[in-house]
Structure 1
Amino acid sequence: MKLVTRAALGWPPSAAPLQSATNGVKVHYEGTPVSLRLLDDHNACLAEWKAIRASHLANTVENYSDVAYNYAACPHGYLLEGRGIGRRTGANGNQDLNRAHYAIVGLVGSSGLTTPTDPMLDAIRDGIDLLRDNGAGREVKGHRDGYATDCPGGPLYAWVQRGAPRPGVTPTPIPEEDDMTPEQATQLKKIYDAQVPYSGWQYKGQGTQDAWALLNSAATTATAAVKSVAALGAKVDALKQPVLTSDQLTALAAQVAAHPTLADRIAELVADKLATRLAD
């Protein structure tokens, strides 16, 4: 991390309100033209950052206590300290929305320098990680998420939507809805290990037995059990006597022995039938 502190900028400690935690970080841009000169001159970046702070302190409408952002990131990969750690952002003026997220601004704008460099994206990630280490949540959003604005501009917002990855690092893909993560596959295996005496099952059938064949077998067993419950219900409905005969009791006992997990369901059916009889 290439950090430029407030002290190095010649600034006193921030007078912004204290805040120990947020939901995460929101990414911003300047929203005004930014000179391409910043690409070749780091001193121009420092001057730009100081000018932003001066304009904020001069804004009597918003009444800023400091530069609005916690950090800025320049095209050369430097993270420039603003309000810093543990200070509420002023990026949404004087609104309560400032409490939700810390703010990092990339020194790009609406024209001129509009596309962040890879070092700038690295610096923004440095700021995100630093703030996470000091109370920020996991959310990374653009300023436009929850606020009516074009900020942080098209290029930066597209990066945020990709998960704000470091340059050269491919984000971990999100599994499709019809696919299982390895963790889900492990959970499913544990379920079947508890019911089926078989140890060769592996994720997506990569074992000595096809996992999906095992699932189909389980589905067939479940279907048969449902049909058995329906048949038992029909037998109970067919009973006309107020008390079951010995043969009927024996038949029901045999069914329960074959499907012990259905005992509660049989009891419910019998209870419903008896309640109907009493009501009649």
Structure 2
Amino acid sequence: MKLITRAQWGARPSRYRLTHISGTKGVKIHYEGTHVPASLGRPDAHDQCAPRVRAIQASHLANDEEDYSDIAYNALVCPHGAVFEGRGAHRKTGANGTAALNAGHYAVCALLGSSGLTEPTDAQLSGLRDAVEWLRSDGDAGDEIKGHRDGHPTACPGGPLYAWVQRGAPRPGGGGGTDTPVPRYEPFPGVDWFKRNPRSPIVTAMGRRLVAVGCSAYREGPGPQWTEADRRSYARWQQRLGYRGADADGWPGRKSWNALKVPKV
């Protein structure tokens, strides 16, 4: 994934504190719905994409009627396949139409218009899949991929993009559609689950990831039974992430767990 962070594209600070959400049912696909110059799709026009994302954020922050906290989308995808971080993972979107719809799905916007540039490029479709998979792995998004118009009276995301959504949002060249599940990661089971000394394949998968990232405190294993060696190994991972003191006690937390990316068992 070609991720362009907020700092890299020059995002302004949020006006208000963004609302944290633990996860969603999935992702809804959007488009700009205005004129987007066809020239933006040229291979040599990528330097125009970050200014366009900044302009979208500026228009949202200036919208007194909607009173947006920030750019409304969790991510935006340009015709060249780059994923621009918007509100990001675990942040409630402001784009889906109502408070309930915003809590139900993340929102990813293609830099695509109702005139001018109306057909998504293959790179853009791949970038949209990248954004969906990123929100699944880092934001606990569910399996649904829908259009903005699903559940809200709007033409968004336009005919061509909505037709792609209805086909299962396949990655160009094959793979990544509804018939080919993308790799997923184990959702955070909660710190209390670990404190009950579980015996589970999840513990083994976690231990193997800790070994892979160089945080092993194991003499044997890792195995399915949670042990003090697991806790010490996890403490090393927390320290790797910059946690100190009581924050690096070896008991998994949601943010450190999501960062570890334990494969689904």
Q: Indicate yes or no: 2:136 matched with 1:111.
A: no
Counterpart of 1:55 (choices 59, 74, 78) is 59
What TM-score do you get using the length of structure 2 for normalisation?
0.63
Give 1:86 deviation, angstroms. 0.8
Mark the runs of 5 or more structure 1 residues left unpaired by the alignment: 175-280
Quote the residue 1:152 is aligned against: 157
Q: Indicate yes or no: 2:154 matched with 1:137.
A: no
More helix by share: 1
Q: Indicate yes or no: 2:19 matched with 1:17.
A: yes
Paired residue secondary structure (2:39)? helix
Give 1:117 deviation, angstroms. 0.3
Q: Which runs of 4+ in 1 moved over 6 A?
A: none
- Are the structure 2 counterparts of residues 62 and 165 from structure 1 closer, same or farther at C-alpha, using a change threshold of 3 Å? same
Q: Which amino acid aligns with 1:150?
A: A
CA distance in 1, matches of 2:11, 2:126: 24
Give 1:103 deviation, angstroms. 0.4
Give 1:94 deviation, angstroms. 5.4
Quote the residue 1:164 is aligned against: 169
CA distance in 1, matches of 2:126, 2:12: 27
Quote the residue 1:180 is aligned against: none
What TM-score do you get using the length of structure 1 for normalisation?
0.59
Q: Let me know the Cα RMSD of the aligned residues.
A: 1.7
Give 1:45 deviation, angstroms. 1.3
Give a deviation string over 1:1-58, Cα, whole Å, max 9, x none: 1010001122256542111200000000011110112112112111111111000000
CA distance in 1, matches of 2:61, 2:135: 24
CA contact (8 A) 1:26 1:101 kept: yes
Quote the residue 1:35 is aligned against: 37
- Are the structure 2 counterparts of residues 173 and 149 from structure 1 closer, same or farther at C-alpha, using a change threshold of 3 Å? same
Larger Rg: 1
Give 1:62 deviation, angstroms. 0.4
CA distance in 2, matches of 1:138, 1:5: 24
CA contact (8 A) 1:62 1:93 kept: no
CA distance in 1, matches of 2:127, 2:107: 13
Q: Which amino acid aligns with 1:135?
A: D
Give a deviation string over 1:146-196, Cα, whole Å, max 9, x none: 00000000000000000001001065769xxxxxxxxxxxxxxxxxxxxxx
The sequence identity of aligned pairs, in percent, is: 58
Mark the runs of 5 or more structure 2 residues left unpaired by the alignment: 181-265
Q: How does 1:57-136 map to 2 (within 5 A)?
A: 57-93=61-97, 95-133=99-137, 134-136=139-141
